[in-house]
Copies of this chain bind each other. A is one copy, B any other.
Amino acid sequence: MAMAKRDTYTPESLLAVAVEVFNERGYDGTSMEHLSQAAGISKSSIYHHVKGKEELLRRAISRALDGLFGILREPDALEGAAIDRLQYVVRRTAEVLMAELPYVTLLLRVRGNTDTERWAMERRREFDHEVAELLKTAAADGDLRPDVDVRLATRLLFGMINSIVEWYRPGRGGAATSDEVADAVVRTAFAGLRV
């Protein structure tokens, strides 16, 4: 009697495989067949865990968003001068991006063809908006240089942080650690490069 192939996937480990495939092929370019091949289990086994690829996308995006929005509820993001809270949030955003690299990479790449993608983009804008509010408060406190345009500075800050997904690979020999990268982001953005 043939044994049925054992499905040893948990929702968590299946998600990790799916995110890898989404990031490699793009969400649009990924079929259930691709996911089945990458996971080495049948499509019906995948359907045992999830309704379809959009549910996997939603779970993966949620993981990235939970990490990011969680930062805003941490004590150092809530107490103290806005400029210090801003600096804390910027550092933590870089850290969460690196800790949840494939999930945040996926979040940054979605382009809005499905409800889940549009929801992801909307939530991402909300996060950016929260950070922009901190910049505004810091500016009102007189702690930002007066020539800083809040909207442009927010965009450039996220441009700098989000670009980390393009080159950061944890554990690569000789590469910068997450701490070193987060330090560099905070120093560059807040103190500037010039002595």
Contact = CB atoms under 8 A, between A and B. Distances in A.
B83 A194 contact: yes
Contact of A153 (B143, B157, B162, B188): B188
Interface residues of A, number: 41
A191 B152 CA distance: 15
Contacts of A87: 194
Most buried by B among A135, A138, A145: A145
Contacts of A187: 145, 147-148, 192
Interface string A158-195: 11111110110000000010001101110111111111
A153 B191 contact: no
B195 A149 contact: no
A75 interface: no
Q: How many chain copies does the complex carry?
A: 2
Given A83-B194, A189-B192, A193-B190, A181 B159 contact: no
A180 B149 contact: yes
B191 A194 contact: yes
Nearest to A139: B193
Interface of A: 83, 87, 135, 138, 142-145, 147-149, 151-153, 155-164, 166-167, 176, 180-181, 183-185, 187-195
8 contacts: A135-B193, A138-B193, A143-B195, A144-B195, A153-B193, A155-B163, A159-B164, A160-B160
